[in-house]
Chain A
Amino acid sequence: MVSFDVHDGELFGLVGPDGAGKTTLFRLLVSLIKPDSGSSLVLGLDPVRDLWALRRRVGYMPGRFSLYTDLSVRENLEFFAAVCSTSVEEGYDTIAPIYRQIERFADRRAGALSGGMKQKLALSCALVHRPDILFLDEPTTGVDALSRREFWDLLDSLRASGLTTIVSTPYMDEAMRCDRVALLQAGRILAIDAPEAIGARFPRALFGVSVRERSTVLNALRQFPTVASAYPFGDTVHVSDTRADISESVVMQELEAHLRHAGFSDIVITRIDAGIEDVFIELMGVPQGAVAA
Chain B
Amino acid sequence: MITIQARELTRTFGTFTAVNAISFEVHRGEVFGFLGANGAGKTTAIRMLTGLLAPSGGEAQVAGFDIKHEPARVRERIGYMSQRFSLYDDLTVRENIRLYGGIYGLSDAEIAARGDRLLDQLSFADNATALVRSLPLGWKQKLAFSVALLHKPAVVFLDEPTGGVDPVTRRQFWELIYRAADDGTTVFVTTHYLDEAEYCDRVSIMVDGRIAALGTPAALKAQLNAKDLDEVFVRLARGAEQS
Contacts and interface: CB of A to CB of B under 8 A. Distances in A.
Given A281-B168, A284-B166, A293-B123, A173 B195 contact: yes
B238 A146 contact: yes
Interface string A169-209: 01111000000000001000000000000000000000000
A235 interface: yes
Interface residues of B, number: 42
A144 B199 contact: no
B178 to A, nearest CB: 5
Contact of B233 (A146, A171, A234, A293): A146
A204 B164 CA distance: 28
A231 B167 CA distance: 10
B198 interface: yes
A16 B166 contact: yes
Contacts of B218: 235
Nearest to A291: B172
A233 interface: yes
Q: Interface SS of chain B: helix, strand, loop or mixed?
A: helix
Query: What band does the interface of chain A fall in when counting residues whose beta carbon is under 8 Å from B?
Result: 35 or more
B239 to A, nearest CB: 10
Given A145-B233, A147-B37, A292 B175 contact: yes
B166 A146 contact: no
Contact of A17 (B166, B171, B238): B166
Nearest to B121: A293
Contacts, number: 100
Given A185-B166, A281-B167, A292-B175, A144 B122 contact: no
A52 B114 CA distance: 57
B123 A291 contact: no
Interface in B187-210: 192-199
B165 A232 contact: no
A18 B139 CA distance: 12
B230 interface: yes
A114 interface: yes
B38 A147 contact: yes
B174 A232 contact: yes
B137 to A, nearest CB: 5
Contacts of B224: none
Given A281-B167, A284-B166, A291-B175, A145 B230 contact: yes
A162 interface: no
A277 B194 contact: no
Contacts of B184: none
Nearest to A172: B167
Given A232-B199, A234-B217, A146 B164 contact: no
Given A142-B163, A218-B175, A232-B171, A115 B38 contact: yes
Contacts of A172: 167
Contacts of B166: 16-17, 20, 185, 280, 284
A286 interface: yes
A146 B237 contact: yes
A9 interface: no
A141 B165 CA distance: 12
B192 A293 contact: no
Contacts of A91: none
23 contacts: A18-B164, A19-B137, A142-B160, A144-B38, A144-B192, A144-B237, A145-B230, A146-B233, A146-B234, A170-B163, A170-B164, A231-B171, A232-B199, A234-B196, A234-B198, A235-B218, A281-B171, A284-B166, A284-B167, A292-B175, A293-B122, A293-B123, A293-B176
